[in-house]
């Protein structure tokens, strides 16, 4: 290490974040030649400035190491974070030597044992809550039932008082700028993104363009849609004011922010709300019928919002636009939202509503033989999951067409799509994609179900599709991949890429010609599938 002073923390939070990201550490104690060492997960408690004060953890009661702390509380805690070999094969200058980048922390501590049931309970719950937070189908200690009491008896808690903390962040600070950039690109190319992120944290701005230089840059947003996006994001941030919100509070804010954008547009001759019976109880439906009194094709519409937000109200104008432009009845389905309700409940509600519409549609002016299913974002995901499930249970003929706008077809956004269109300044961030998926599915295996992860499904025998894609959307890649897979499976597909359009862009219909064109294209698809002429009500304000 040529200059250790280069590799010091920039702030106390660097050490705390390292522990939070990589909590498994070695607890080392004893005299030379008689050392004891145990790998244990630890949590860190910091003062107001972020300096580590305590490390919290627990030993198995059967581990003899903990007993020695009653006589000598001193120990060393060793933690190694992200690390990786740096190959000269990544460098333009191949005369450079190989090296290893890493982040480590060493704590000199005094161990204070906390050996009561209450101590064990507090420490076990704290660690479990931290590790389970945000996971799909997060587990809680209560699920152990009576077994938890015996497990709790088998551990001895401790609080390690930090006497000194030392950390080394050897992350390329001593490299030439060109070599530093080559290392960043090499880590990116070999998918070592965690180590690359820590390098960026310590690069002082040097690596800002290193990765961007090897991938296409984000395309500019359509100016009309950009105004909508900027307004929605800014208003949401203003109302939120930096507060941590629970899901009901988040929903209230997004409803408030989007309310002005739903105003105006076509007014159907008939709007009515009814309820459909499903295996999970009644589900509210909102009907927009442009021409009551005659049986007509119907679009069952599912709003987006990551399965966790939005409503029939946030997407009311979109539904009215489609009804007017296509000349079909549009029925919005008020499916249950996560995380309170998780997969497969919403999907099963959609399937049951499809059956209900065909059994009861005639009484409401619907032609049950001409039923399309569609939606945007999470609604597009539910549409595909439903037609796959209906096909697999022998009821595929129920749906005649699928209308899908920028749907989620896989939980896995590529690194490039995340960097280009999933940033904190985008309408849908890559972090939000991860959060929405984790709160929708019930367990990790659900990520690989064909009814959630459409790109893993066999697609033969599905009805015709229209896929509308925003060019500047973090989900654009997976929508293009899905279109290709549908075509390869013999499914009739119409796909259109809308230049300069981000995620959620059809919601900007009040101000965006691109959004209006996308809705018109979807309506034209429905008219063709159902043999309808151009809707008289398509021209509107």
* Residue with tokens 């145990």, as numbered in its chain: 38
**Catalytic, out of 29, 338, 377, 383:** 377
Residue 416 falls in the annotated catalytic set: no
Half-sphere exposure of 226 (CA within 13 A, CB side): 9
Contacts of range 214-217, beta carbons closer than 8 Å, 24 or more positions apart: 214/185, 214/188, 214/189, 215/416, 215/419, 215/420, 216/416, 216/420, 217/420
Whole-angstrom distance, CA of residue 363 vs CA of residue 24: 63
Nearest in space to 424 (alpha carbons), one of 376, 474, 498: 474
Nearest in space to 342 (alpha carbons), one of 251, 244, 445: 445
* Residue with tokens 């849609």, as numbered in its chain: 225
Residue 155 parent element (H or E): strand 155-170
Residue 150 falls in the annotated catalytic set: no
Is residue 127 helix, strand or coil?
A: helix
**Catalytic, out of 376, 383, 473, 504:** 473
Nearest in space to 167 (alpha carbons), one of 361, 343, 6, 331: 6
Residue 473 falls in the annotated catalytic set: yes
Q: What is the DSSP letter of 526?
A: H
Whole-angstrom distance, CA of residue 263 vs CA of residue 45: 49
Reading phi first (left if > 0) and then psi (alpha if -120 to 50, else beta), residue 221 is in beta
Is residue 476 helix, strand or coil?
A: helix
**Catalytic, out of 303, 315, 453, 503:** 503
The catalytic site residues sit at 377, 473, 503
């Amino acid at each position: 290490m040529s200059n250790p002073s280069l590799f010091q923390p920039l702030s106390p939070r660097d050490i705390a974040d390292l522990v939070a990201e990589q909590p498994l550490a070695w607890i080392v104690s004893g005299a030379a030649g008689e050392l004891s060492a145990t790998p244990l997960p630890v949590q860190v408690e910091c003062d107001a400035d972020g300096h580590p004060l305590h490390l919290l953890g627990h030993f198995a009661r059967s581990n003899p190491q903990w007993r020695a702390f009653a006589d000598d509380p001193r120990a060393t805690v060793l933690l190694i974070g992200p690390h990786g070999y740096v190959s000269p094969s990544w460098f333009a200058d191949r005369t450079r030597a190989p090296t290893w980048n890493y982040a480590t922390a060493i704590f000199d501590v005094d161990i204070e044992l906390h050996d009561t049931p209450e101590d064990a309970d507090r420490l076990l719950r704290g660690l479990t809550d931290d590790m389970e937070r945000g996971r799909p189908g997060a587990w809680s200690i209560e699920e152990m039932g009576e077994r938890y009491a015996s497990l709790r008896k088998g551990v001895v808690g401790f609080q390690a008082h930090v006497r000194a903390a030392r950390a080394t962040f050897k992350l390329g600070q001593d490299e030439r700028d060109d070599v530093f950039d080559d290392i960043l690109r090499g880590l990116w190319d070999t998918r070592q993104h965690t180590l690359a992120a820590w390098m960026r944290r310590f690069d002082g701005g040097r690596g800002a363009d290193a990765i961007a230089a090897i991938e296409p840059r984000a395309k500019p947003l359509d100016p009309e849609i950009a105004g909508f996006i900027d307004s929605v994001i800014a208003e949401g941030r203003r109302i939120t004011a930096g507060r941590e919100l629970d899901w009901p509070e988040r929903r209230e804010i997004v409803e408030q922010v989007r309310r002005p954008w739903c105003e105006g547009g076509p007014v159907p001759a008939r709007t009515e709300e009814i309820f459909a019976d499903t295996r999970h109880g009644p589900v509210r439906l909102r009907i927009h019928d442009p021409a009551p009194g005659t049986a007509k094709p119907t679009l069952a519409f599912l709003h987006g919002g990551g399965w966790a937000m939005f409503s029939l109200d946030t997407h009311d104008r979109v539904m009215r636009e489609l009804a007017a432009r296509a000349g079909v009845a549009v029925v919005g389905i008020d499916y249950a939202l996560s995380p309170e309700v998780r997969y497969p409940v919403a999907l099963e509600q959609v399937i049951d509503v499809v059956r209900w519409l065909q059994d009861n549609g005639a009484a409401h002016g619907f032609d049950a033989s001409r039923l399309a299913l569609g939606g945007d974002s999470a609604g597009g995901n539910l549409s595909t999951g439903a037609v796959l499930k209906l096909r697999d249970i022998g009821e595929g003929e129920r749906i005649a067409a699928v209308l899908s706008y920028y749907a989620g077809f896989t939980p896995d956004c590529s690194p490039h799509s995340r960097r280009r269109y999933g940033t904190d300044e985008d309408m849908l961030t890559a972090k939000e994609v991860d959060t929405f998926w984790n709160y929708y599915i019930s367990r990790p295996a659900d990520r690989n179900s064909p009814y959630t992860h459409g790109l893993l499904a066999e697609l033969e025998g599905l009805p015709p599709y229209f896929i509308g894609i925003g060019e500047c959307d973090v989900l654009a890649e997976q929508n293009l991949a899905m279109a290709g897979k549908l075509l390869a499976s013999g499914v009739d597909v119409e796909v259109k890429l809308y230049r300069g359009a981000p995620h959620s862009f059809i919601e900007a219909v009040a101000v965006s010609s691109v959004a209006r064109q996308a809705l018109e294209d979807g309506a034209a698809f429905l008219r063709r599938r159902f043999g309808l002429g151009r809707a008289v009500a398509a021209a509107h304000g």
